[in-house]
Structure 1
Amino acid sequence: MLPRDLDAAGVLPFARRADELGFDELWVVEDLGFRGGFTQAAAVLAATSRLRVGIGVLPAGARNAAFAAMEVATLAQLFPGRLDVGVGHGMPAWMRSVGQWPASPLRLLEDHLDALRRLLSGEEVDTGEDGPVRLRGVRLDPACVPERVPPLLAGVRGPRSLAVAGRVADGTVLAEPVTPEYARAALEQVAATGAHRVVAYNAAAVHADGAAAVAAVRAGLQWIGEPDWAPHLAPLPFAADLAALRREAGTPEEFARRLPEEWVRRLAVTGTPEQARARLEELFAAGVTSAVLIPAGEPVQALEDLAAVL
């Protein structure tokens, strides 16, 4: 993952180094107040020659389907076969702060993904006026329709949203932490009838000294005790104890400091290179198809350390 707060001067060197080290994909994030997903993706695609670039994730409420289709189509034509696009609800607090939280988030996401796919396929889309997506005879110019529609993935976590992903998306982007238990539970709720990608984010730190790696990754887990992360933790045998620890700890920082080492190892990809590879194999066996590692600590050095798992 390209860290959202990486200094602007470091963005392209980070991407080029990830390409050189042999990572398969680089994912960029669109979080409110940081950098735009399309702009980051375009810059990284232009600066590298091999990496697939994923956008995770565009908030449906703030990204009009027609204008999003124009951006996606442009990238898909300029860099064919190298783009993945995630679309989600957006964090409710962020979306409310910009006046874009919809009355029906589930319907908006489903209608948005449907309209986006149809537009990228060259169709004329007329949705009428009754739904949250309102397009009147909109289509892309034939010269701007990509030869291949890039994969459209739903960045979601709740059971009803996962069901939407199974109906209308090519895959699902799961925010961190993703354990094998959560990946399996999510796929059951997706209930896709065909092939379905699972992109799994996890805080990650790798070091020859496994204990040092565990210590480094703790800060990346400080928010997982908050209510929004409950679906990630529910399948775990220590979910209730983790919730109790968060209540007792008082602050996210203290919560992360007090997490037992065994829990940290299960909630992140961490340890020695061998231990991290073993954890990745468990995730792949549970149905994950792309394991996205969120660098812990200083990003450039963390990137070099994470390459030891390749």
Structure 2
Amino acid sequence: MNIEVSLGLWQDRPAAEVLDTARIADELGYPAVWIGEMATYDAFALATAAGAAMRTSSLVLGPFAVQVRDPMMIAMGAASVAALTGRPVQVALGTSSTVVVEEWHGRARSAPGAALEEAAEAVAPILAGGKSGFTGRQVGSRGYRLRLAAPGADLTIAAFGPRAIATAARHAARMVVNLVDPTTAGELAEALGEAANRIGRERPRVAAWIPTCVDPDAAAVDQIRRGVVGYLAAPGYSDMFERAGFAQVVEFARSRPHPRELLAAIPDELVFAVTAFGDRDAVLARLRAYEAAGVDDLVIVPACTDADPAAAHTLKTLAPGAGF
């Protein structure tokens, strides 16, 4: 069972706590720590601060929104982190949300699927040490070559819909899915395999971000409850939640209630449908369910609460060599 760690960047926790989580994950021997980007730290800056203290874990940076971060910026940032920390670095790409791209960054989010495919094609040669030479309708870079050592061209693509899955099948070493139940994870893995087979390529590895907590309290459940609010009415996700038995909650989400009202309407059972929460045995059983569905890399997103600061208990329980 290959378990990696993604920093939760929880908005209800002190921002600097993620550095403790990264340090603990490294000390416990987790093979990789994923560092994304939300509303607090710049991902490259956080990765440099966290990675400088690491001795074991590699770093996976992103997914970076391809209509916010251009290919040169992504490649230069990844090479900078690798050079300044001495850690192996991989890059993940995604499309992010309309709120992030259009409202926060003031960029257009037209044709995100096309932008994702173009970004993957544009950034891979730069990460491999080549000179950029791609111009697309959405994304491009020409004439730039890294001055630092190239971190490598293996890409991870965050995917859910058919266009992103096709991009992952063609360009990625790994596809990552987020906040899905084991059944849906298996369907997405199968779709990736079919897309790869159509172009004569072996299926990339599949990773899944799984919010995880060993011996959770109410605060941990609430932390994830807040995280699912934005997914309930989203295409694809709404179908998943309906299939899992939460059609009434999805219908309510589609009516666009105040977020506070929607949050109150989300039952604990919905949270448990897309997480690995419970005692040690229950969490391990849940992770094995994702593995059995076709997920190669289990990326736990550990809840951090006053009862488990920096997710130390969860990380220690699930650490490599913990005897399961």
Task: Tell me the TM-score range normalised by the shorter chain.
Answer: 0.7 to 0.9
Q: How many residues align?
A: 300
Equivalent residue for 2:23?
16
Which residue type is aligned with residue 269 of structure 1?
Answer: A
Q: CA deviation at 1:259?
A: 4.4
User: Aligned AA for 1:306?
Assistant: T
Q: In structure 2, what is the Cα distance between the partners aligned to 1:254 and 1:263? A: 16
Determine if contact 1:29/1:37 at 8 Å carries over to the other structure: yes
1:152 to 155, 162, 167: 155
2:70 to 64, 68, 75: 64
Q: Residue 216 in 1 paired to residue 256 in 2? A: no
Q: How many angstroms does 1:36 deviate by?
A: 0.8
Give me the whole-angstrom Cα distance separating, in 1, the residues matched to 2:18 and 2:272.
29
Superposition deviation, residue 24 in structure 1: 3.1
Alpha carbons of 1:125 and 1:27: their partners in 2 closer, same or farther (altered >3 Å)? closer
Higher RCO, Cα 8 Å, sep 6+: 2
Deviation of 1:111 (Å)? 1.3
SS at match of 2:163: helix
CA–CA separation in structure 2 for the residues paired with 1:48 and 1:81:
8
- Specify every segment of 5 or more residues in structure 2 that has no aligned partner in the other structure, as ranges: 1-5, 320-324
Contact 1:25 1:52 in 2 (8 A): yes
The structural deviation recorded for 1:95 is: 0.8
1:3 to 4, 8, 29: 8
SS of residue paired to 2:142 = coil
Cα offset, 1:276, TM superposition: 0.3
Partner of 1:99: 106
Partner of 2:301, secondary structure, is: strand
Q: Could you report, residue by residue, the CA deviation over 1:247-275 in whole angstroms, capped at 9, with x for unpaired residues?
A: 69955555555545544332211011100
Separation in 2 of the partners of 1:155 and 1:29? 12
**Aligned residue number for residue 322 of structure 2:** none
Q: Trace 1:263-278 onto structure 2 (pairs within 5 A).
A: 263-278=270-285
- One-letter amino acid of the structure 2 residue matched with residue 186 of structure 1: L
TM-score, scaled relative to structure 2: 0.80
* 1:189 match: 191
Question: Which shows bigger deviation, 154-163 or 260-269?
Answer: 260-269
Q: Tell me, in whole angstroms, the C-alpha distance in 2 between the residues paired with 1:53 and 1:122.
A: 19
Amino acid at match of 2:207: V
Q: Which residue of 1 aligns with 2:207?
A: 199
TM (normalized to structure 1)? 0.83
The alpha carbon displacement at 1:71 in A equals 1.7
Indicate how the Cα distance of structure 1 residues 291 and 224 shifts in structure 2: closer, same or farther if over 3 A, else same. same
Q: 1:80 to 1:165 in 2, by over 3 A?
A: farther
Distance 1:78 1:93, change over 3 A: same
Structure 1 position 75, deviation (Å): 3.0
Distance 1:255 1:38, change over 3 A: same
Partner deviation per Cα, 1:101-132 (whole Å, 9 max, x = no partner): 2432222211111111111222223224x522
Q: Which amino acid aligns with 2:155?
A: L
| CA distance in 1 between partners of 2:44 and 2:269 (Å) | 38
- 2:126 — aligned with what? 119
Any conservation in 2 of the 1:206–1:213 contact (CA below 8 Å)? no
Opposite residue 311 of structure 2, the aligned amino acid is L
Residue in structure 2 matched with residue 52 of structure 1 by the alignment: 58
- Give the C-alpha shift of residue 233 in structure 1: 4.8
The CA distance in 2 between the partners of 1:223 and 1:134, in whole Å, is 33
Instruction: Give the secondary structure class of the aligned counterpart of 1:222.
Output: helix
Residue in structure 1 matched with residue 94 of structure 2 by the alignment: 88
1:25 aligns with 2:32: yes
In structure 1, the partner of 2:176 is 173
Deviates more, 1:66-75 or 1:250-259: 250-259
Contact (CA 8 Å) 2:210, 2:298: kept in 1 or not?
no
CA distance in 2, matches of 1:306, 1:196: 28
Q: CA deviation at 1:228?
A: 5.7
